[in-house]
């Protein structure tokens, strides 16, 4: 059982060990395969790409590989963070609108990632959006005695951690909007 646990937990390390389980005795022996260990140490810090493209410059192949990982990350974001799937619309125009909104969301996602790179490289767009989700904006409507309504649009004050994040990103919250007062709708009476 311990061998199985070690195999599942350290699959790459187990390849460097030669293991012999004895048939008659309930024990095993092992030894380190030094040749394999030397090969692994020689390859440390290197990345091996296997491709069917021939005659290409290695830097070009690496660029293709990086583009591939970026495309895969894009699809992961579209399916996960931005929830482009599933689409429940029936009409083609609504499906296109849904995909367009998802594309705009993706553009904002990438822009946020670019903004994070110089100011807070340890954060991901997902973690920033989760932190920003704590902020709320509400409209408080207060009726007055003369039939009018005062509307106060307010956003919550950010927690200290979020304030620090906003400072790092060089973003400022808008000032609290002054109250709006709306007149009561005039009652129309019909004279007969």
Rounded-to-integer distance, Cα 168 and Cα 154, Å: 23
Asked whether the beta carbons of 127 and 150 are under 8 A apart, the reply is no
Q: For the chain, what's the residue count?
A: 192
Q: How do the domains of the chain map onto residue ranges?
A: 2-43, 58-131, 134-173
pLDDT (tens digit per residue) in 9-57: 777 777 787 877 777 877 778 788 888 888 878 777 766 777 787 777 8
DSSP structure class, residue 185: P
Per-residue pLDDT tens over the stretch 61-78: 888 888 888 777 777 766
Find the distance separating the first CA and the last CA of the chain, reported in whole Å. Answer: 94
The 3-state DSSP class for residue 64 equals helix
Query: What is the pTM for the complete model shown?
Result: 0.48
């Amino acid at each position: 059982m311990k061998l199985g646990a070690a195999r599942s937990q350290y699959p790459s390390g187990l390849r460097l060990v030669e293991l012999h389980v004895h048939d008659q005795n309930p024990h095993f022996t092992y030894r380190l395969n030094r040749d394999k260990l030397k090969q692994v140490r020689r390859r440390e810090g290197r990345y091996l790409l296997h491709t069917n493209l021939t005659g290409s410059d290695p830097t070009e192949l690496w660029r293709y590989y990086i583009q591939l990982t970026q495309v895969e990350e894009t699809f992961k974001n579209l399916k996960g963070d931005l929830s482009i799937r599933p689409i429940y619309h029936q009409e083609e125009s609504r499906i296109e609108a849904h995909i367009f909104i998802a594309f705009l969301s993706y553009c904002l996602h990438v822009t946020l990632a670019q903004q994070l790179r110089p100011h807070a490289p340890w954060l991901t767009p997902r973690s920033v959006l989760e932190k920003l989700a704590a902020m709320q904006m509400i409209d408080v409507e207060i009726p007055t005695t003369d039939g009018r309504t005062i509307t106060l649009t307010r956003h919550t004050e950010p927690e200290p951690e979020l304030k620090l994040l906003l400072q790092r990103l060089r973003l400022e919250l808008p000032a609290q909007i002054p109250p709006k007062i709306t007149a009561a709708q005039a009652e129309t009476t019909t004279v007969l």
